[in-house]
Amino acid sequence: MMTRFHPASNPDFMPLETLRELQWSRFQKILRHTWQNVPWYREKLKSYDVKIDDIKSLDDIHKLPFIIKTDLRDTYPFGMFAVPMSQIVRVHASSGTTGKPIVVAYTKEDLEVWDEVISRSLANFNVSDRDILQNSFGYGLFTGGLGLHCGAQFHGVTVIPMSGGNTERQIMLMRDFNVSVISCTPSYFVHLIDAAQKMGVDIKELNLKTGIFGAEPWTEEMRKTIEREAGIKAYDIYGLTEIIGPGVGAECSHQVGPHIFEDHFYPEIIDPQTLKPLPDGEWGELVFTTLNKWAMPLIRYRTRDITRIHTEPCPCGRTIRRIDRISHRSDDMFIIRGVNVFPGQIESALLAIEGVLPHYQIILTRYNGLDNIEVQVELSPNQFDDTLRSIEAVQKMITEKIQHTIGIRVKVQLVEPNRIPRSEGKAKRIIDQRS
């Protein structure tokens, strides 16, 4: 079996001291490069009264200001680029559902880093040159498609550039091409499982053995559901456009949260309220510094993703640190009657009940000044034919389970099969009709 990264040469297993030295040497170079080439960054440091010479070790990183999403919007489109256009060979952009998208850029060397981290991710998932990968992440400006594509190709995998959508064709090719690995959002894969069933194709009978899922939060319960229904191993890949795209981190075969490729992306956890750094082990907002990306380096970028860095070493022996799966992003959290709720809690509660499908939507309304939450859950065709009594029993069970988990009253509505819109990319879980 050929993979690019054998344990002996895999940077994931570097001695800790070597790793910290490498991070520090890369950090010094990238900080100077950013300061020299991005006028916006020079102004920013000036206004914070910090000089780059004040930074004498990695720990001093805390003295530097953060970069946030709106800074990237304010400098749209090219204001954060740190090299001349002639050195930029690729541009991507994040979806930017509201307003202008966020534009990111890559030099040739940056793309090599990207290929490398995808290849290391695939090595984590035991994917090799004997595999055929159907890449069902969307192609185009979204980083999932091309990012995974090029990295998998570099790894030696046979890549089918499928992109999202065209669901029946996806199933057909998966079967006819003997696809062994699929990559897409977890919510789209759930849709594929459904669609296969309708076409009379049993995914379990196919050659598919590995799923690479990311780009949106998903729960451990969702993983179990997917692994059971499709008979595959489902792995978590994490990333965000601003930092590089997919491949900022990836789980190992122990499936205990993504390892961060921290020789390239230096992670910190901060308290999102006080903005103070938190020690490993504590929950907070994930912040990244790109140590080895030249077209658009970001120093202390706030991701808005909430997690913690694990303190216990992983049984796999990797020295690069591991985070908890991103259970939610602060943008997705909603406050209802003073209680903070995120969709993952509702997903966990739902999928803990046997027979409940992972198709749901959360609808928030306001009536007479009071916030209400309704969770719509889809019935399976079998359940739909059940007696009213057994449907009511399911409804009661779901209501109680969710109320127990989030601590407030919810209305649960069971809807007929195929009522909840299916996503081809990131699922939209919350419909907020308040205001």
Count of positions on this chain that bind ligand ADP (CB under 6 A): 17
Q: Is residue 217 a contact point for ligand ADP (CB under 6 A)? A: yes
Residue 64, binding choice from Zn ion, ligand ADP, none, Cβ under 5 to 8 Å by partner class: none
Residue 253 and residue 268 in contact, taking contact as beta carbons nearer than 8 Å? no
314 binds, among ligand ADP, Zn ion, none (CB under 5 to 8 A by kind): Zn ion
Distance CA 144, CA 149 (A): 8
Site for ligand ADP contains 216 (CB under 6 A) = yes
The two structure tokens encoding residue 24: 């520090």
Residue 314 engages Zn ion in binding (rule: CB under 5 A): yes
Instruction: Identify the H or E element spanning 360.
Output: strand 360-367
Residues 233 and 227: beta-carbon distance below 8 Å: yes
CA atoms within 13 A on the CB side of 222: 27
226 binds ligand ADP (CB under 6 A): no
Which of residues 185 and 372 has its CB atom nearest to ligand ADP in the complex? 185
CB of 385 to Zn ion, least distance (A): 44
Q: CB neighbours of 144 closer than 8 A, spacing ≥ 6?
A: 137, 138, 183, 214, 215, 245, 246, 425
Q: Does 240 bind ligand ADP (CB under 6 A)?
A: yes
Residues 6+ apart with CB under 8 A from 228: none
Residue 119 sits in the site that holds ligand ADP (CB under 6 A): no
Would you call 344 helix, strand, or coil by DSSP? Answer: helix
Cα–Cα dist 122/265, whole Å = 18
Inter-residue contact 132 to 179 (CB < 8 Å): yes
- The yes or no reply on residue 373 touching ligand ADP (CB under 6 A) is no
191 contact, one of Zn ion, ligand ADP, none, CB 5-8 Å limit per kind? none
How far apart CA 355 and CA 376 sit, in angstroms, is 15
Residue in the structure block whose two tokens are 């060979």: 89
Q: Which of 127, 196, 215, 356 binds ligand ADP (CB under 6 A)?
A: 215
Instruction: Please choose, out of 123-131, 211-219, 270-278, 381-389, the segment that lies near ligand ADP by the rule CB under 6 A.
Output: 211-219
Indicate which single residue of 146, 150, 252, 287 sits in contact with Zn ion (rule: CB under 5 A): 252
138 makes contact, choosing from ligand ADP, Zn ion, none, with CB < 5 to 8 Å by partner type, with none
Task: Determine whether 180 is exposed, middle or buried from the number of CB atoms within 10 Å of its CB (0-12, 13-18, 19+).
Answer: buried
Cβ of residue 320: shortest distance to Zn ion, in angstroms? 9
Residue 239's binding partner, choosing from Zn ion, ligand ADP, none, with beta-carbon cut-off 5 to 8 A by kind? Answer: ligand ADP
Neighbouring C-beta atoms of residue 229, cutoff 10 Å: 18
94 binds ligand ADP (CB under 6 A): yes
Task: Answer yes or no whether residue 14 interacts with Zn ion by CB under 5 A.
Answer: no
For residue 377, state whether it binds Zn ion (rule: CB under 5 A): no
Contact status: 251 vs ligand ADP (CB under 6 A) = no
Q: Which is nearer to Zn ion, 155 or 318 (CB)?
A: 318
Residues that bind ligand ADP (CB under 6 A): 94-95, 214-217, 236-241, 303, 305, 325-326, 329
Contact positions vs Zn ion (CB under 5 A): 252, 254, 314, 316, 318
